[in-house]
């Protein structure tokens, strides 16, 4: 299984290009977006920070482990750090597999373990942030 993991400060621009992927009958994509409410309180953004080298290593390890249960051809994870405004993507996951069950299983399984096992932390920005120019 090809594994691509990335941590970025830049906006995430998901893109699906299925050309040349004739072995993959399923391409599953998940985009996690920052909500404007958390715990009943309005927020302007979340700020994510990571222990980057360990986070990348742990994401790769978890994906390899999940790949034994849910065999996929490719999995791509992009996690954003820094201040991420409500409505913007914080994480993008793509899995390609022969069948949809494996692709959905890997994406769901990864999301289930990501928050507890990967050293990426978030905190709320409750006050309004300046408007971007």
Per-residue pLDDT of the chain (133 residues; tens, 9 = 90+): 999 999 999 999 877 776 666 788 899 999 999 999 888 888 899 999 999 999 999 999 999 999 999 999 999 999 999 999 999 999 999 999 999 999 999 999 999 999 999 999 999 876 655 555 5
The pLDDT value recorded for residue 42 is 85
Domain membership of residue 78 (yes or no) is yes
Answer whether 96's CB lies under 8 Å from 21's CB: yes
| The residue count for the chain | 133
Q: How many domains does the chain divide into?
A: 1
By residue range, what is the domain housing residue 50? 2-9+23-125
Is 14 part of any domain?
A: no
Asked if residue 84 belongs to a domain, the reply is: yes
Q: Is the residue at 63 inside a domain? A: yes
pLDDT at 28: 96
Q: Is the residue at 92 inside a domain?
A: yes
Contacts of 34 (CB under 8 A, 6+ apart): 43, 45, 46, 84, 85, 86, 87, 88, 89, 90
> Residue 90 maps to which CATH number?
3.90.1170.40
Q: Give a yes or no: residue 43 inside a domain.
A: yes
| pLDDT at residue number 30 | 97
Residue 111, domain member (yes or no):
yes
Query: Residue 25's pLDDT is what?
Result: 86
Predicted local distance difference test score (pLDDT) of residue 20: 66
pTM of the predicted structure, to 2 decimals: 0.89
């Amino acid at each position: 299984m090809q594994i691509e993991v990335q941590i970025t400060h830049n906006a995430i621009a998901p893109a699906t290009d299925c050309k040349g992927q004739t072995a993959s009958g399923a391409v599953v994509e998940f985009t996690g977006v920052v909500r404007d409410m958390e715990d009943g309180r309005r927020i302007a953004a979340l700020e994510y920070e990571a222990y980057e080298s360990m986070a990348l290593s742990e994401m790769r390890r978890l994906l390899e482990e999940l790949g034994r249960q849910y065999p996929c051809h490719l999995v791509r994870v992009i996690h954003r750090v820094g201040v991420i405004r409500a409505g913007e993507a914080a994480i993008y996951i793509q899995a390609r597999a022969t069948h949809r069950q494996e692709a959905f299983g890997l994406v769901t399984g990864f999301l289930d373990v990501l928050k507890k096992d990967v050293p990426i932390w978030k905190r709320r920005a409750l006050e309004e942030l300046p408007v971007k120019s």
